[in-house]
Structure formats: C-alpha cells, structure tokens
C-alpha cells in the first residue's frame, strides 16, 4: 500500500476497544494489593495562620494507619517549575482548599471520617482576592520567602519580577512603538475580562505510591511522567533514579494532568505505613482546588493608519495566578507565552506587558492553549470594534491586516504558517457573509493561530521474527490519539499493516521524554516515529519488512533507537465564522451554525483530527457561553458538574469544517498540531456575532443572556 | 458517603411503618443521591418505594379528570402521545427539564419534593440556615440565581418545572401516612421556609405522596410553558412560567400564572391572574398582566435580571394562549 493512502484512511484507534468495552484500567482502577486510601484536611479560609493542628481523635479511629501534618513535611514545596506550594501547609494557608493534613486509612470512608476529626485552629489573615489589590505597593506579600524557593531550571534562576506578588512578568517590544502611535491616524483602546474556567477531564486526578526496596513506585495520571519524577526528586530530596513514574490509562487531560499535587505526600504516607497509598481526587475537589485556567484582565491599545492597517499595538494583560505558581511549567511563569494578542496579524511595532499575579484564590494552571483564549478573545473583539469605528466590515479589516510570509507578527518574529487571508475568505464564503442579514441574526469572525510544538524525543523500534514491530516511547496517550498517530506513521513509512505495529509506553525507566503538552506530540513524537522508521528501513537494506523478519533467528530482533529534535517554526491556523440569533427582549443567544476553515497540514489520524477540531470548537463554545468557575470570597461556588455549566450536545450547532490543509506543515509528512488550534477563537467569534446581530458588545466572558441584555440597555 | 440501611417494601403499609422514626424515602433518587454525595444528606435508613404498585400509573377517567401516580417516571409523561392531547403543558414543561437520563429515573413525587436550589445550601462547607445553621450565605453572597419574590430567611428557589405546570391546572396532591390520607391543593404542598420551618414541603417524614390529580374542568383550559436557562439542557430554570386560561369568545376566564425558579415555592401571581379575568387577551392585557406579576419583586444585589426576564416570559406565555 502507498504510504499516503494509509494516512488518508480512517484510523482504528489503538485504545478504542479497551475504552469502549470498559477493559481499560485507569489509575483509580489499578489493583495494588494492600493499598490504603488517602484523604486531606483542607483550609476553609483563603488566608490564615495555622495556630494548631490536633490529630489526636483522627489517629485513634479504627482503620487509620497514618496521619501527617505540615509539621511532618515542613519546608517541602512542590511545583512544575517554581516549587512554591507546600506539600502540606505548616504555618499559613493561602487559599480555600490548601492542605494542612493527610490521612491514610483502610478505606476512603474511614480516611474522610478521620479528616473530619482533625481539629485545626486558624487565625484569619486579610485575603488578597483581587489582582489589582495584590499589586499595590503596600500589599501584604504572600510569599515572603520566595527567594528560597527551588526553581527547576538547570541553566538559570527565576526571572526577576517588579512586585513580590508577581509570579511572572514580561515586558517586551519591537519597533519604535511610540513613534508608530504618534503617526497613527486612529488609536483605539478597549478592556476585556475573562473568568477562570476548568479543564474538566472525565477522569479526575489519581495516584498510587509505594516503596519497593530502594525504589519509589508511582502510578499517576500525570501526562509528563519524567517531569513528575524530577519534581518529586527535587521536593523530596531523592535521587531521580530512585523514583519510577508510570501511568494507567489517562482519561482526558486538557492541561489539567500536567500538575500533580498528591504524589508527594503519598510518598510520606507510604513510608509511614509500609503500604501502597492511593488518592483519587473527588470531582468537587477537582473543581474547587486544582489548577483552572487563569482569569484575566486585558487592556489593548492599537493604532491604525488611514487605510485601517495596524501600525502600533500595546497590550497589558494580568492573569490571576492564585496562591501558587506551581501549576505553570514555563520558565517565565506566565500562561505559556503570555503574549498572544493579535497573533496572525502584521504588527510592525508592539509593546506587551503580561503578568501572572499571586492572590488568595485557587492556583491557576495550564489549560488547552494556555493564555490564548484570554488574549484572542480580547484582541479579536478589539479588531471588530475597530472595524466598526472605521466603517469597515470586520472581515475587510482582517483581510487588510493578516500576516503574510515573513511579515512581522505581534512578537516581532516573522510569520511562518498558512495563508490566513485564504482561510478567512473561505470561512466567509461558507457562512454566506455577503447574504442580506435577517433581523436579530448576525455573523461573527475570528482568526486563530497556534504554534506547532518543538522539542525532542526518543523512539525505539524492534522488528521481531513474526513480522511485528514494537514501538517503545515514553509518551502516553491521554485520549488525544498519540499512540495511534505513532503507529500509523511507522506503518505508513515501512509500508506495513498498522495492526502489526504495537506501541509500548515505557515508564521513567526508559529514555527521557518531555510528555504531552504544548502542541508537541504530532511534530516531536511523530517526527521521532518517522525518523525511527526511516532508520529501520535503512537497516532492512532493501529487503521488505517481512523478508527481513523471516531472516531473523529465534529471539533475535532488528532494533533502532532514534532521538529526534523538532526545531522548525510553524503554525496551524483556523478562521472561525459563527452565526447567532439574539433575542433582544431576554438577551438569549442561540448559536445557529458555525464554520471552521482550517489548515493543519497533513492529517495523520483523520477521525481523531475531526474529533480534535469539533471538540476544540465545543470546548471554546463552553467558554464563550456558559463556563464560569466563579469564586465568591475565595471559594469556588460550582462544586459539581451540574452547577459548572459545560456545554451539552444540545448546545452544539451544526458545524462545518473546511480544510485548506495541505502537506506544508513542518511535522511528519507535512503535519501540523491540531489539539489546541480551535478553542481559543470561539469566544471572540461568538461575541462578534452577537454584536453583529444585536449591537450588544460584551467585554466579559461568558457571553450570558444577562450580559447581552444589559449591553443592549447600556446598564 | 456514609453507609446506610436500605429497604424496598412492597406494600404501602409496610413502607409507612419503615418510614417512621426518621427514615428517608427514596424513589428515583435523582436529588437524594446528589445530596448524599455532596455531604448534605446523610440518611441512616433509606426506604426505597419503587415497588409500591398503588403509586404507579396514570389515567384519565371520563369526567373525573387526570390521575398521575407518584411513581410515574417523568419520561413516561413526557413521551406519552395520549397525554400530549390531554394536557400538553406537561410535556412542554418536562422536555427542557434535567436530562433524558434524569427524567428516566426521576418520578413525579420526587420531582415535587426535590430540595430547593442554592449553591450555598448544596455546598457542605456552608452551614447555612436551611441546613440548620445560623444565617443565609446567599443574601450577602453570590445570589444571581436566587429568589426575587416571596422569600423569608432563605432565598433558595423552588426548581421544579413540573410543579408550575400542574399548579396552573389546579392540581391536587394526595398524601398518605400513619394517621390517614389527606388531599390538598398542590400549591399548598410547598411552604416558604421561615421561622422554625426549615423545609420546603408540607409533608411529614412519615407520609408518602400517593398521586396528583388534575380536575376535569381544568383540562379544557389552554396552557403554555416557557423556561429560560443557562444552557439548552440539564440546567435548572433561571425562570420558568406556566400559564393557563379558558378563552370564551376571546375573553379570559380562570387565568393561572405560576412561576418557577423565582421564589422558595412555585409562585402564583394572583394579582396578575385577577387583572386578566374578563379581559380580551390582547398585547396590552398580556403586558399589563406581566407587569403585575412582577410588581412585588424585590431582587437581591445580583439577580435583578431575573425580573425583566420573568416579566418577558409571562408576557410570551400569555401571548401564546391567544
């Protein structure tokens, strides 16, 4: 079979059968003999000093095997980059849900009962619940000992920040911004805000930790096991080699599974009891105490010339990082890059300031395209407002400003990626942008671009005598189809049936792997799979796979191991067009239909790709219309998935996806990443459509009926 | 969840005996199990009444109106073609309620007896007044979804979509207990929590709902139902409105206007009903009645929007009757 024929055919998912029959074993399902269950005592205050912890009654409860408090792990802090989050708090708690004690018991019910018997005395401290308050000159400093915190970066230290309540801060510019603003024909300024939202994977976090001789064995839902191993080694003061991290089947991620918080104290509980100890996060705790997408407040200022061409741009973005920066893996401790307003446009001069801020709220983390949905909602709404002021259609303003190959983009880097004008034009045609509007209906556009990830990974192949090929990789499959992608690239390259290619994930005993995240797997692991298959091909010396297999003697295998480094800059892109109807009397928004014109390069898993694009759209629709992980006085109110309003299938309109994809991507066979491409643009497209339909401009997500109703009445 | 004793009696008398002394009655369990998982309810004994035959089934007897057993599942009512002819408002009210799964498990009696909605009440961390605590956290907290009318110490709202529709058709409810059987207007099953009354229903812990009845003369009325919610399914009403009336020569008789999600009980807008009596149902009359229905509304700091929303839904449902 021709290799590209295989890639064009719908895939058979490697994990499909086990998941649909219920045979798949998730971390919470794993049968580890003698495992105890853990539960945690949590702070009810957003900021308080711990006066005393009395565990006496909990310790004597039948079935309780160990009770640990902050005093037992004093000084230990966890985190993906900056380790600022106490394993258990010993002197202060910094948000509602912060942990002060842990119990291991024979059952979860006993562990939870023991937690209720732990008496903690708190002295409440003034809470910083607002980013602006936290950045005042006289604001109390939430982390006075920050200088002593471990920063997991071999090459350097934590970048300096202007205020002690900053987690991360960046100020960067390109071009002569002041001169460009001075020459602008028009200057526009707008402000936008977005709330926290939750990743909401089906499977909550879970982990089991046990000691085996000198080894610490960990099975975790973490999607980057090597990173968790390194974090644990640093926090617990253990040699990396002593810790082995493995995964069960992972039931969804969306960024949530990058942060682990339980494994550290589970180690201590396992040590104290001599038993394996398991923690499975209750969904209420997932919603209220883990690492949701940061809320934001973004101010934009843009200068345009007389023809509506952008000449200067300025962004000031504040992201509420909550009590700890531990959830962010980036060196600058921003939500990924932090700077992504007007991505995909030609911006000759720009100045960006972005910061993440410590407050006494639930700690923020990474979520599908971190930072982009906030910035794209702001800048794509901003563009529509500018267009209307200039008397241009929103589409025309975008056409005049999209980046073409080599143009300076908002960060000053030259544009590498698809033809954005063509995508916008196609979306406009498909939605019927030129047709006369019905009263109460409107169309909104947004442009979304997303970098193709970079990095390196190792993949090994072994051809056995029976003609099967085993792929060994350190990367998991959290539901995104990663293993199927690797299998198909190997099969297509070697011209064999994908069913003869088995993918085996190794624990951290195998070669290091960066794990899932940052739109990385398709270019990096896909690239490694291609390189490994090509290396094996070479070893075949012109023979077919079957012939080479037959030539092997019993127990012998033909092996290659390839480390691949993906370095090229590239982007996927998506033009969104959404039609809505607005009920002017109630403000109710109905999304009638949507079009996505996308360029993601060559598809490797065509069915999975469609799932990523449709799923990304629905994910964005939730952020656009219903999702709001609101806190009141520091506590997340929606403690269940009935109150936290994810979109349901009834909320999803007919969706048309048009591919302008080609094989120009920098990934294997011309592929680009797809998983984080679509969701960022949806909220702005909805808000822009609402404006088009009704004249109501909503500057805050989600676009609720109430906000539309108020915007229509200027209240 | 705490371990509990469980019994599934087959006879009503046995069920009543088991229910005595603080057991919790369960039918579909769609509200109770959620309350238990969230740590709000922790029953020691559960009496599962799903095997009680006399509480099953629904029928329309000529001249005697409609009888609906307490154990009839919501999905059975919603999907019945016969009921769609007899009393179409029931299907209209149930289709946007909860989800197909919840409507399959949920029963008529359970729907009427579900606890009120408030995120402070349903969060274990808040010792709120309705749970026996000292104060209502919603009055000063985030109250965007709370009561705009008729509340006393507690501003949680009655969420049922079915109740307003049944009350708009003058339904009655029959309860049986160890001291006998009693029948009351359905509207009286609901009580506003106040003073020492920290509950939402006028049913004692050792009583069961047997059935709901809709009188024959009410079945000839026209009805309409509308519900505003945050997403298209699986969402409690921001506001729901059920209306019914007879139109004789274009003139309104026996108008009923009942709102859900706005008060601690299904809220009958009696002033507005009176205003419509004898009127021609034109735009002006509908608007005037809608205004009257919300005249006494006293929104909290975050839920002002529910007032115009409710007003508009009352106007729309009334317009649909004409």
This complex has an ipTM of 0.96
Mean pLDDT of chain A: 96
Q: What is the pLDDT of residue B38?
A: 86
CB proximity list for B19: less than 8 A, separation 6 or greater: B25, B47, B205, B206, B208
Q: Is the pLDDT of residue A195 over 80?
A: yes
The verdict on residue A515 lying in a domain is: yes
| One domain for residues A253 and A352 | no
Q: For residue B265, is it within any domain?
A: yes
| CB-CB contact of A693 with A681 (8 Å) | no
Shortest alpha-carbon distance between residue A589 and chain B (Å): 10
Measured in whole angstroms, the distance separating CA A283 from the mean position of its chain's CA atoms is 19
Q: pLDDT-derived band of residue A547, with 50, 70 and 90 as boundaries? A: very high
Cα distance from A666 to chain B (closest Cα, Å)? 40
Cα A333 to Cα A93, A364, A513, B112: the distances in Å are 21, 11, 21, 51
Which CATH number does the domain housing residue B226 bear? 3.30.390.50
Q: Tokens 């008789």 sit at which residue?
A: B253
Pair A421, A349 in one domain:
yes
**B87: domain range?**
53-114+157-217
Taking only the tens place, the pLDDT of each residue in B121-166 is: 998 889 999 999 999 999 999 999 999 999 999 999 999 999 999 9
Determine, yes or no, domain membership for B239: yes
Residues making up chain A, counted from first to last = 715
**A197-215 residue pLDDT tens:** 999 999 999 999 999 999 9
Cα–Cα distance measured from residue A207 to residue A222, given in angstroms and rounded to the nearest whole number: 9
In the predicted structure, residue A3 carries a pLDDT above the cut 80? no
Q: Same structural domain for residues B180 and B255?
A: no
Task: Tell whether B240 and B295 lie within a shared domain.
Answer: yes
The domain total for chain A is: 3
Mark which of B194, B217, B240 sits at the end of a domain. Answer: B217
The pLDDT of residue B125 is 85
Report angle CA A697, A421, A681 to the nearest 5 degrees.
Answer: 40
Same domain (yes/no): B213, B224:
no
CA distance A389 to A405: 28
Q: What is the pLDDT of residue A153?
A: 79
Asked if residue B304 and residue B261 are part of one domain, the reply reads yes
| CA gap B321, B226 in Å, rounded | 12
Which segments in chain B show pLDDT lower than 70?
Answer: none
Instruction: Please report the pLDDT score of residue A434 as a whole number.
Output: 92
Identify whether residues B243 and B307 lie together within a single domain.
yes
Of A425, A360, A691, A378, which Cα lies nearest the Cα of A573?
A425
The CATH number linked to A674 is: 3.30.365.10
Chain A CA closest to residue B316:
A585
Interface contact flag, A109 B305, Cβ < 8 Å: no
**Would you call A626 and B230 a contact, using CB atoms and an 8 Å cutoff?**
yes
Of A625, A637, A645, the CB nearest to B142: A637
CA B275 to chain centre: 24
A705 reaches B (C-beta below 8 A): yes
| pLDDT (average), residues A311-319 | 98
Rounded Cα distance between A462 and A535, Å, is 11
Kindly determine whether residue B235 and residue A637, on different chains, have CB atoms separated by under 8 Å.
Answer: no
**CATH number for the domain harbouring residue B212:** 3.30.465.10
Cα separation, A323 vs A636, whole angstroms: 14
Contacting residues of A for B232, CB less than 8 Å apart? 648, 650-651
Closest CA in chain A for residue B122: A639
Q: Of A256, A280, A304, which residue sits at a domain end? A: A280
Residue A5 lies in a domain: no
Residues B182 and B57 in one domain: yes
What lies within 8 Å, CB to CB, of A480 at 6+ separation is A253, A516, A521, A608, A612, A675
Entry pTM: 0.97
Flag whether residue A44 sits within 8 Å of chain B, measured between CB atoms: yes
Q: Is residue A142 one of the residues assigned to a domain? A: no
Helix or strand holding residue A504 (H, E): strand A501-505
What contacts 24+ positions apart, CB below 8 Å, involve A148-154?
A: A149/A77, A149/A79, A149/A82, A149/A83, A149/A84, A150/A77, A150/A79, A150/A82, A150/A83, A150/A234, A150/A235, A151/A81, A151/A82, A151/A83, A152/A79, A152/A80, A152/A81, A152/A82, A152/A83, A152/A230, A152/A231, A152/A234, A153/A81, A153/A331
Q: Is the pLDDT of residue A2 over 70?
A: no
Does the pLDDT at position A38 exceed 80? Answer: yes
Shared-domain flag, residues A391 and A420: yes
C-alpha distances (whole Å) from A32 to each of A23, A36, A38, A138 are 17, 9, 14, 52
Give burial (CB, 10 Å; 0-12/13-18/19+) of A556.
Answer: exposed
Whether residue A210 sits in one domain with residue A330 = no
Last residue of a domain, which of B217, B242, B267?
A: B217
Residues B230, B204 share a domain: no
Kindly indicate the confidence band of residue A155, based on its pLDDT and cuts at 50, 70 and 90. Answer: low
Domain count, chain B: 2
CB B134 within 8 A of CB B54: no
Alpha-carbon gap, residue A197 to A359, rounded angstroms: 17
CA distance A627 to chain B (A): 10
Q: Is A173 left (phi over 0), alpha (psi -120 to 50) or beta?
A: beta
Residues B262, B302: one domain? yes
What are phi and psi for residue B111, nearest 5 degrees? -60, -40
* Distance of alpha carbon A160 from the chain centroid: 25
- What pLDDT shows up at residue B180? 94
Does the residue B29 lie in any domain? no
Do residues B229 and B206 share a domain?
no
Q: Which residue of B has its CA nearest to A703?
A: B230
Percent of chain B scoring above 90 in pLDDT? 93
Q: For chain B, give the longest Cα–Cα distance.
A: 61
Q: How many Å lie between the alpha carbon of B314 and the closest alpha carbon of chain A?
A: 12
Q: B226 with B91, same domain?
A: no
**pLDDT single digits (tens) A563-603:** 999 999 999 999 999 999 999 999 999 999 999 999 999 99
Is position B18 within any domain? no
Chain length of chain B? 322
Decide if B43 is inside a domain. no
A630 part of contact set with chain B, CB < 8 Å:
yes
Q: Identify the H or E element spanning A607.
A: helix A606-625
Q: Identify the domain boundary among B168, B186, B217.
A: B217
Range of the domain at A344: 296-452+569-712
**Residue A225 located in a structural domain:** yes
Residue A616 near residue A181, CB atoms below 8 Å: no
Q: Are residues B209 and B230 in the same domain?
A: no
Does residue B11 belong to any structural domain of this protein?
no
Give yes or no: residues A448 and A460 share one domain.
Answer: no
Looking at the fold, whether A531 and A612 belong to one and the same domain comes out as no
Domain boundary among A539, A566, A593: A566
Beta strands B24-26 and B65-69 are unpaired
pLDDT in tens, A420-441: 999 999 999 999 999 998 999 9
- Asked if residue A7 is part of any domain, the answer here is no
CATH value at residue A37:
3.90.1170.50
Contact check, Cβ <8 Å, A625/B231: yes
Burial class (CB in 10 A: 0-12, 13-18, 19+), A614: middle
Closest CA to A625 of A698, A713, A711: A698
Decide if B187 is inside a domain: yes
Q: What are the pLDDT digits (tens) for A446-486?
A: 999 999 999 999 999 999 999 999 999 999 999 999 999 99
Single residue among A280, A305, A332 that ends a domain in this structure:
A280
Residue B38 covered by a domain: no
The answer to whether residues B181 and B75 belong to one domain is: yes
């Amino acid at each position: 079979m021709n290799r590209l024929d295989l890639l064009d055919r719908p895939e058979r998912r490697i994990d499909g059968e086990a998941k649909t029959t219920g045979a798949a074993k998730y971390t919470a399902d794993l049968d580890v003999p003698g495992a105890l269950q853990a539960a945690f005592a949590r702070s009810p205050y957003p900021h308080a000093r711990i006066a005393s912890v009395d565990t006496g009654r909990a310790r004597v409860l039948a079935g309780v095997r160990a009770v640990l408090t902050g005093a037992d792990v004093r000084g230990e802090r966890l985190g993906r980059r900056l380790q600022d989050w106490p394993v258990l708090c010993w002197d202060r708690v910094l948000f509602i849900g912060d942990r002060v004690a842990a119990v291991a018991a024979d059952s979860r019910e006993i562990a939870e009962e023991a937690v209720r018997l732990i008496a903690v005395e708190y002295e409440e401290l003034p809470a910083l619940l607002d980013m602006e308050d936290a950045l005042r000159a006289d604001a109390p400093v939430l982390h006075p000992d920050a200088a002593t915190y471990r920063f997991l970066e071999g090459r350097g230290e934590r970048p300096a920040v202007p205020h002690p309540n900053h987690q991360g801060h960046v100020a960067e510019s390109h071009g002569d911004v002041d001169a460009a603003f001075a020459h602008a024909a028009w200057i526009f300024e707008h402000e936008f805000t977005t709330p926290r939202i939750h990743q909401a994977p089906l499977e909550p976090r879970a982990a089991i930790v046990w000691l085996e001789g000198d080894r610490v064995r960990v099975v975790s839902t973490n999607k980057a096991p090597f990173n968790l191993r390194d974090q644990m080694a640093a926090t617990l003061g253990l040699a990396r080699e002593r810790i082995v991290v493995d995964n069960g089947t992972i039931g969804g991620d969306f960024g949530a599974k990058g942060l682990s918080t339980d494994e550290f104290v589970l180690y201590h509980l396992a040590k104290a009891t001599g038993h394996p100890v398991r923690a499975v996060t209750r969904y209420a705790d997932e919603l209220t105490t883990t690492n949701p997408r940061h809320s934001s407040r973004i101010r934009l200022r843009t200068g345009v010339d007389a023809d509506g061409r952008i000449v200067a741009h300025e962004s000031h973005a504040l992201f509420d990082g909550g009590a700890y920066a531990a959830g962010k893996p980036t060196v600058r401790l921003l939500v990924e890059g932090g700077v992504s307003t007007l991505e995909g446009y030609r911006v000759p001069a720009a100045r960006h300031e972005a910061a993440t801020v410590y407050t006494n709220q639930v700690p923020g983390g990474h979520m599908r395209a971190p930072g982009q949905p906030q910035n794209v909602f702001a800048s794509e709404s901003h563009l529509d407002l500018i267009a209307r002021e200039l008397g241009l259609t929103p589409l025309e303003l975008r056409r005049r400003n999209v980046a073409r190959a080599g143009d300076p983009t908002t960060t000053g880097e030259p544009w590498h990626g698809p033809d954005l004008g063509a995508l916008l034009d196609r979306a406009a045609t498909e939605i019927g942008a030129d047709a006369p509007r019905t009263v109460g209906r409107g169309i909104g556009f947004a442009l979304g671009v997303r970098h193709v990830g970079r990095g390196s990974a190792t993949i090994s192949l072994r051809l056995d005598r029976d003609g099967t090929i085993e792929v060994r990789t350190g990367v998991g499959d959290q539901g995104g189809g990663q293993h199927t992608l690797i299998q198909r690239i190997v099969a297509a390259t070697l011209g064999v049936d994908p069913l003869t290619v088995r993918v085996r994930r190794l624990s951290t005993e195998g070669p290091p792997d960066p794990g899932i995240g940052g739109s990385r797997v398709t270019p990096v692991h896909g690239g490694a799979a291609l390189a490994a298959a090509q290396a094996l091909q070479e070893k075949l010396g012109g023979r077919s796979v079957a012939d080479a297999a037959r030539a092997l003697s019993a127990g012998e295998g033909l092996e290659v191991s390839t480390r691949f480094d993906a370095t090229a800059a590239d982007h996927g892109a998506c033009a969104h067009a959404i039609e809505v109807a607005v009920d002017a009397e109630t403000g109710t928004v109905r999304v009638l239909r949507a079009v996505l014109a996308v360029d993601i390069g060559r598809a490797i898993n065509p069915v999975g790709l469609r799932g990523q694009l449709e799923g990304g759209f629905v994910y964005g629709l939730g952020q656009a219309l219903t999702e709001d992980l609101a806190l009141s006085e520091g506590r997340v109110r929606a403690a269940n998935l009935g109150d936290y309003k994810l979109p349901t299938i009834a909320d999803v309109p007919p969706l048309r996806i048009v591919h302008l994809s080609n094989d120009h991507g920098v990934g294997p066979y011309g592929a680009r990443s797809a998983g984080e491409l679509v969701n960022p643009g949806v909220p702005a497209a909805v808000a822009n459509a609402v404006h088009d339909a009704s004249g109501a401009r909503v500057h805050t997500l989600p676009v609720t009926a109430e906000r539309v109703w108020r915007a229509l009445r200027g209240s | 969840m705490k371990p509990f004793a469980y019994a599934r009696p087959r006879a009503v008398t046995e069920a009543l005996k088991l229910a005595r002394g603080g057991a919790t009655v369960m039918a579909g369990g769609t509200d109770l199990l959620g309350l238990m998982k969230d740590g709000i309810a922790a029953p020691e004994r559960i009496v599962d009444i799903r095997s009680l035959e006399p509480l099953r089934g629904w029928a329309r007897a000529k001249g005697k109106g409609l009888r609906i057993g307490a154990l009839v599942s919501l999905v059975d009512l919603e999907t019945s073609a016969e009921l769609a002819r007899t009393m179409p408002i029931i299907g209209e009210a149930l289709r946007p309620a909860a989800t197909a799964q919840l409507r399959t498990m949920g029963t008529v009696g359970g729907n009427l007896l579900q606890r009120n909605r408030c995120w402070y009440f349903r969060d274990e961390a808040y010792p709120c007044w309705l749970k026996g605590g000292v104060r209502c956290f919603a009055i000063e907290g985030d109250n965007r979804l709370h009561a705009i009318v008729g509340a006393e110490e507690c501003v949680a709202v009655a969420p049922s979509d079915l109740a307003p529709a049944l009350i708009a058709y003058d339904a009655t409810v029959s309860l049986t207990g160890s001291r006998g059987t009693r029948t009351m207007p359905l509207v009286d099953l609901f009580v506003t929590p106040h003073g020492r009354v920290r509950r939402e229903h006028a049913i004692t812990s050792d009583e069961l709902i047997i059935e709901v009845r809709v009188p024959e003369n009410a079945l000839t009325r026209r009805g309409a139902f509308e519900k505003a919610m945050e997403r298209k399914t699986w969402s409690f009403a921001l506001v729901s409105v059920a209306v019914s009336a007879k139109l004789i020569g274009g003139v309104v008789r026996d108008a009923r206007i009942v709102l859900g999600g706005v008060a601690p009980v299904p809220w009958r807008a009696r002033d507005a009903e009176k205003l419509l009596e004898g009127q021609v149902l034109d735009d002006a009359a509908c608007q005037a009645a809608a205004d009257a229905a919300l005249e006494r509304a006293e929104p909290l700091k975050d839920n002002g929007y529910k007032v115009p929303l409710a007003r508009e839904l009352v106007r729309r449902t009334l317009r649909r009757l004409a």
